[in-house]
Amino acid sequence: MKFRTFAAFVAPSIVMMLIFIAFPLVTVFLNSFRITQPVVEQVEVETCTAGFLEQTCTTEIKTQPVLDAAGNQVTTTEWVGWLSYERVLGLAAMGEALAEGAWAGILNIDFWKALRFTLTFTLITLPLVIGLGLAIAIAVNNAARSLKGPVIFVSLLPFIITPVIGALSIRWLFYGDGIVTALLEQWLATDISVAANGWAIEILMMFYRVWHVAPFAFVIFYAGLQTVNQDTLESAIIDGANRWERLKYVIVPHLMPLIIFVALIHLMDAYRAFEEVVGFSSQAYRITLQWLTYDLLTPDDAGNRAISRASASAMLTMVGIVILLIPLLRRTWRDHHGKS
């Protein structure tokens, strides 16, 4: 292929990646090292009470933003180095907690609380998604041909539903007077308040993630099962291998590249979990790193946003994703290098 032809095909992708990935990433990285604040000034404001003969006036000093000729707020940008990272990580509060020996106090810091739940959420749901997806794929692959179509359609429904709608659907089943909660209260003859227990909300969030993502793993594994060497399976059967042994020594090794692929996608997606926090309204009990970044970007009462800290939180989230992906990427590279 000529260079001009190659460049004509590749150039649009490169330009789009630079505009929508590289440039925003560099901007977020730079914003994490600088703080932009509004310029304010102190002015004397005289306030007089209503009255004709005895009018009382008081003078007080108020702080107000400085506006330019166009009426826009004047801002100033200051390079602060690692200050935003220190604030996001809560290093000062963390040092005090360690000095007092109160390890539990570290989890009261928003970043570490979000990191704890994000890691737990990601690492627990990962094997469940892969295991359930593989189980559904094997069941559908062994089902009668007349049943495969309807089973595949029903299995894909959770993945088709919009994430927030799916989370709200699960929430409505358990929160308040939800159907499941009402049945449990009638069965156990006691009041159940799911929304008041952090651990219950955490389990529901994990349940929703597995329910929503397992169909994706099922589709990938079901496609991979169609390429399994039937001669190898027949040989294993002749040698006396049972179903578990055929799964362990024939099917799983054959699907291992797809398992790694699903794990990569799930780790990147689950580590950036956000819909679950919104859908289950878990901000008071469980938050994720992605939600923490969003919360920092939410304007306060004065209309200001902590852009620098939000950028630092986003960069720390990206670093965490890279660290989680390193073992799988090394495995992929080793397998590819070995085959080449």
Query: Do 77 and 112 lie in a common domain?
Result: no
Query: Do 173 and 60 lie in a common domain?
Result: no
- Which structural domain, as residue segments, surrounds residue 19? 3-84
**Beta carbons within 10 angstroms of residue 39's beta carbon:** 12
Question: What is the pLDDT at residue 340?
Answer: 47
Query: Do 287 and 170 lie in a common domain?
Result: yes
Question: Which of 84, 118, 137 is the endpoint of a domain?
Answer: 84
Query: Do 166 and 291 lie in a common domain?
Result: yes
Query: Do 37 and 146 lie in a common domain?
Result: no
Pull the structure tokens for residue 259. Answer: 């398992």
Q: How far apart are CA 20 and CA 68, in angstroms?
A: 32
Yes or no: say if 105 and 192 are a contact pair by the CB < 8 Å rule. no
Query: Do 151 and 26 lie in a common domain?
Result: no
Query: Do 132 and 271 lie in a common domain?
Result: yes
Query: Do 266 and 193 lie in a common domain?
Result: yes
Q: Which residue has the tokens 């006396």?
A: 240
Query: Do 20 and 80 lie in a common domain?
Result: yes
Q: What is the CATH number of the domain that holds 130?
A: 1.10.3720.10
Query: Do 162 and 79 lie in a common domain?
Result: no
Question: What is the pLDDT at residue 339?
Answer: 56
Q: What does the pLDDT average to over 41-51?
A: 76
CA-to-CA dists, residue 85 to 92, 323, 327, angstroms: 11, 18, 26
Question: Residues 6 or more apart from 219 whose CB is under 8 A from it?
Answer: 156, 159
Q: What does the pLDDT average to over 153-172?
A: 87
Q: Does a structural domain hold residue 92?
A: no
pLDDT (tens digit, 9 = 90+) per residue, 18-41?
Answer: 999 999 999 999 999 999 887 777
Pull the structure tokens for residue 251. Answer: 């099917």
If one counts the domains in the chain, the total is 2
DSSP string for 211-276: HHHHHHHHHHHHHHHTTS-HHHHHHHHHTT--HHHHIIIIIHHHHHHHHHHHHHHHHHHHTT--HH
Yes or no: say if 20 and 55 are a contact pair by the CB < 8 Å rule. no
pLDDT (tens digit, 9 = 90+) per residue, 280-306?
Answer: 989 989 999 999 999 999 987 767 788
pLDDT (tens digit, 9 = 90+) per residue, 204-227?
Answer: 999 999 999 999 999 999 999 999
| Predicted TM-score of the model (pTM) | 0.84
Question: What is the pLDDT at residue 251?
Answer: 92
DSSP string for 17-35: HIIIIIHHHHHHHHHTTEE
Q: Does a structural domain hold residue 186?
A: yes
Question: What is the pLDDT at residue 315?
Answer: 95
pLDDT (tens digit, 9 = 90+) per residue, 213-272?
Answer: 999 999 999 999 999 888 888 888 888 888 888 898 899 999 999 999 999 999 999 999
Q: Does a structural domain hold residue 254?
A: yes
Question: Which of 25, 57, 84 is the endpoint of a domain?
Answer: 84
Calculate what percentage of the chain has a pLDDT beyond 70.
97
Average pLDDT of the chain to the nearest whole number = 88
Least confident range of 33-37, 72-76, 173-177, 296-300: 72-76
Least confident range of 59-68, 116-125, 144-153, 173-182: 59-68
